[in-house]
Structure 1
Amino acid sequence: MRRKYLGAAMALATALGVVALAPTAGAGTTRTYIVLYRQLAVAGDAAARIQSAGGTLVASYPQIGVTIARSSNDGFATTMKKDLKVQGVSATNNFGIQAPDLAQQGSGGTADVPAVTTVWGDSLSNRQWDMTQIQVPEAHAINTGTGVLVGDIDTGIDFTNPDLQANIDVVNSANCVSGLAVQGTAAQDDNGHGTHTAGIIGAAANGIGIVGVAPGASIAAIKAGNSAGFFFPEAVICSFMWAGTHGIDVTNNSYFADPWYLNCKNDPEQRAIWMAEQRAIKFAQQNGVLVIAAEGNFADDLAHPTLDDQSPDDVVPPATPEENRAVTNACIDIPAEIPGVVSVTASGNRVQKSFYSSYGIGVTDVIAPGGDTILFDQSANVPNGRVLSTWPQLLPQTCAATRQVFENGTLYCYQQGTSMAAPHAVGVAALIMSRYPGMSANGVTAMLQNTADPLACPDTAQYAFFPSVNNGAPQVCTGGPGYNSFNGHGQVNALTAVGG
């Protein structure tokens, strides 16, 4: 997939054909560290010990025994590990180079196509093939998601977007990029990706542009991704801690946590990150948050990983990511493979797995529309195979000109990726929560799975030209129509989910 988040939305630097660079690590370079404590508590002298090791405490999360620190001392981690209360220390940002995102491949197409009659929704809903595919229009006659608070953990949201503004919960929004939450409009989107996923979840039914899956829901922008699209561990940890303490019902996670695509718990350098992120996600889950995540755009079989040549992904040239890094099932895609997380693959308008989508038996829960520019049937409603959604008004340069749509002065953008699939599932989960108040997160997960439309494995010859980005293996679908590695329990169905 790469760059980075699990959709075809690209960072500004990528859109302009340049590479975003992080400072070269070395003597005197200030880096961020995760300090993991042995108990689910932070030592009372943590700040003092961090300072004595040459660091500064940025944030403390005593509920999970994790602190975030910054230091320019190359010996910081070594010194901190001598503390018997400390279980592990890992630097979170190393060295950004952006690797290719498979979802970027495919026909370009044009967004400027003849309009067709709109029979549901708002002025651009005639182009929302993704919504009709999962019966969102019919579901809205029963429920629209009222009373549910969705946390979109992404690059932020454009707070001024007229198709989103009424549904954004500013008070419960936060910028977590530094590892320390800053409440409110600091979560403004400076990339575009988050505004796109937010529109899929809950763009308002207001006559303008598009309608989200759950237009009655409220959306909190939880900004974990920076302007270049990196989601570093400190931001991911902060985001789940925020969600778990601010009444979030369900989170959308259209990314994997940097700098390791597959994070290995048996690797000393990665273990503290792996455990800290897992603790934060578990904390949110224990506080009633349903976590839904995209599986990625590498066409990887996540159930059988063998190589990861993407990591670490924030390396400054002339250094390169470690090629052909051998991995096993001890190495996982976070958050998609954390226990209890609902993992989503992407489909196109042929209602089969998209050419780029990663997958895996025992990993995939459901499939949802994410777009497909290769395996799709073109029409006025589906001009290029991608998903149309909201985009920041001030960032037109981050959406390719051929994918832009302007409606009443508001910018919309066509994108594809599992980033677009996950928020469809999140929206359906919000409809379920609104329809059945008080249902547990586990109950919502079961409902999401049990009301999905089962899909059998497709003819995998269609995927012959799209092997795994990491190990070159052909895409193989295993399982039956009730459950398989490509589609999980099936494609989410909004109408069936709300009892229609």
Structure 2
Amino acid sequence: MHRFTRILTRVVAPVGAVALAAAFTTASFSPAAADTAPAASGPAQNYLVLYKSGGSAAGASLAAIAQARGAVVQNYAQIGVAVVSSGASGFAARLQAADPSVDSAAATASFGVSLAGDAATDAADPVSPPTPAPGSDNLSGLQWDMNQIHAPEARSISGGSSSVVVGDIDTGLDFTHPDLAPNVDFSRSVSCLGGVPDQTPSAWMDDNGHGTHTAGTIAAAKNGIGIVGVAPNVKLAGIKAGDAAGFFFPEAVVCAFMWASTHGIQVTNNSYFADPWLFNCKNDPAQRAIWESERRAIRFAQQQGTTVVAALGNFADDLAHPTQDLQSPDNTTPVARDVTNACAVVPTEIPGVIGVTADGNKQFKSFYSNYGVGAANVMAPGGDSVLQRTAAAVNGRVLSTWPASRIGSCLRKVFDSGATYCYIQGTSMASPHVAGVAALVVSSGVTSPGAVAAQIMGTADPIACPDTAMYAFFPSVDNGAPQVCQGGTAYNSFSGNGQVNALRAIGG
């Protein structure tokens, strides 16, 4: 299904199976005309407004927004970004003509929402000592992925600290699931759909399944049933930025990182790419507004002490050498377009983000996983149902928690003690393993995002480039290029610094 190309779970179709639509054009707009022509009205939609240094949606800028027939939905003055709703045609060009402090503005293809107050700042609690979480639960024997990164051995030393909170920026999480409920932090969970924080529990309940799956890998409780997460003693904040269809629009992504940075969340997991563009090109004004707004939000979160972990994606693309994008804009009809290194996948290619590729039980890169020198930092189990089925990984996929309300959407389901679980694969499944290890590292007292990243990368198990002949039938989905691994055992484009090792990361 199309949504799985966005939330980075299953592999997409080969290049030959991707349908291409005719190219579309954007009508030109004259700023001078904007001052004189009446603005036509249409359905309200959200815009990301990016201000130049020191600017924000206040004072004269607020008046300019009103003059251009817009209304502020949310103002993030800390990073010079505002979410603005308008139904006026040509709103972005009108605003830029009226306000010289505006760098750029771009529609986010979402809907307008009501204005809400700024989120309160909540400082992180001091990290309390971690506690062990030894032993296994009923389905632990199916967790080949945990064994592969030495999570059970690490848990016998540290299951994490209950004062550490991981924000799972995803489609929400099922806070009623028996394996998640003990660890859910309601005070830090939120929906960011539409760009406005909403802490009503029903607003951030998972209506997709993806977020519940990633949350279980991070911190499913050690409670005797089901599975055990990498860090079963840490807390989970469900930060819903993806809707039921799996779209992660820019205003929701910006809101999610601003929420994490102002609510004491030490680690975030990001198993998606920010819609509607797979590659956001900084040399395109509209895409630059999206890219720069998200970059500022992520950088602000990192400056506040939040370690950011992200999946690389499932298109078998070399992110260091992009040439074509067949996925965008994914909220309408994708159109083939040329891309260069001026274009980047958000959030995984934002500086300082820990980028994660996927492997299977034979410990080489999964056939679908993106890769690339500079983009790949570490590798973690994401599953591989084609090349890496084994006795331990009989279907090649990763097992984790799943909402009972969405069990019909799971093709490979498992039940235990009334709780529901699902097998799926993707770099989405790899990233939360690393986020869980990051939580263990923070629990050990290493809190700076840069130091956490260095600890994870410096203790990973090096993996040499495999024989790439096995990927002959799996070229890049976007440009048809063969998969080529560059580098040596210490670092290469497939595994980065190696496969994450939870035990070594905590000094075990």
Rounded Cα–Cα distance in structure 1 between residues aligned with 2:55 and 2:183: 36
Are 1:398 and 2:409 matched, yes or no?
Answer: yes
Q: Which amino acid aligns with 2:431?
A: A
Aligned counterpart, 2:459? 451
Aligned counterpart, 1:478? 486
Are 1:417 and 2:426 matched, yes or no?
Answer: yes
Aligned counterpart, 1:321? 334
Q: Which structure 2 residues correspond to residues 325-344 of structure 1 after superposition, within 5 A?
A: 325-344=337-356
- Aligned-residue offset at 1:303: 0.2
Rounded Cα–Cα distance in structure 2 between residues aligned with 1:254 and 1:307: 22
- Aligned-residue offset at 1:224: 0.3
Are 1:209 and 2:218 matched, yes or no?
Answer: no
Residues 41, 63 of structure 1: 8 Å contact kept: no
Alignment equivalent of 1:168, drawn from 156, 160, 184: 184
Are 1:286 and 2:303 matched, yes or no?
Answer: yes
Alignment equivalent of 1:56, drawn from 35, 52, 71: 71
- Aligned-residue offset at 1:229: 0.2
Q: Which amino acid aligns with 1:3?
A: T
**What TM-score does the superposition give when structure 1 sets the normalisation length?**
0.88
Q: Which structure 2 residues correspond to residues 93-242 of structure 1 after superposition, within 5 A?
A: 93=109, 120-146=135-161, 147-185=163-201, 186-242=203-259
Q: Which amino acid aligns with 1:38?
A: K
Aligned counterpart, 2:10? 8
Alignment equivalent of 1:31, drawn from 45, 61, 66: 45
SS across alignment from 2:334: coil
Aligned counterpart, 2:504? 496
SS across alignment from 2:195: coil
Instruction: State the percentage of identical aligned residues.
Output: 59
Alignment equivalent of 1:351, drawn from 363, 371, 386: 363
- Aligned-residue offset at 1:57: 1.3
Rounded Cα–Cα distance in structure 2 between residues aligned with 1:364 and 1:334: 14
Rounded Cα–Cα distance in structure 2 between residues aligned with 1:7 and 1:416: 5
Rounded Cα–Cα distance in structure 2 between residues aligned with 1:232 and 1:47: 23
Rounded Cα–Cα distance in structure 2 between residues aligned with 1:3 and 1:481: 30
Higher relative contact order (CA 8 A, sep 6+): 1
Residues 241, 253 of structure 2: 8 Å contact kept: yes
Residues 441, 505 of structure 2: 8 Å contact kept: yes
Are 1:384 and 2:395 matched, yes or no?
Answer: yes
Aligned counterpart, 2:373? 361
Q: Which amino acid aligns with 1:443?
A: A
Residues 31, 94 of structure 1: 8 Å contact kept: yes
Residues 305, 447 of structure 2: 8 Å contact kept: no
- Aligned-residue offset at 1:244: 0.5
SS across alignment from 1:59: strand
Give structure 2 stretches of 5+ with no counterpart. 13-39, 112-133
> Aligned residues, how many?
454
**What TM-score does the superposition give when structure 2 sets the normalisation length?**
0.87
Rounded Cα–Cα distance in structure 2 between residues aligned with 1:271 and 1:362: 21
Alignment CA distance shift 1:227-1:441 (3 Å): same
Q: Which amino acid aligns with 1:211?
A: V
Q: Which amino acid aligns with 1:327?
A: V
- Aligned-residue offset at 1:151: 0.6
- Aligned-residue offset at 1:169: 0.5
Residues 43, 87 of structure 2: 8 Å contact kept: yes
Aligned counterpart, 1:87? 103
Q: Which structure 2 residues correspond to residues 59-78 of structure 1 after superposition, within 5 A?
A: 59-78=74-93
Alignment root-mean-square deviation, CA = 1.8
Are 1:431 and 2:440 matched, yes or no?
Answer: yes
Q: Which amino acid aligns with 1:70?
A: S
**Over residues 462-497 of structure 1, what are the superposed CA-to-partner deviations in whole Å (9 max), with x where a residue is unaligned?**
100000000000000000000000000000001111
Give structure 1 stretches of 5+ with no counterpart. 11-25, 96-118
- Aligned-residue offset at 1:9: 9.9
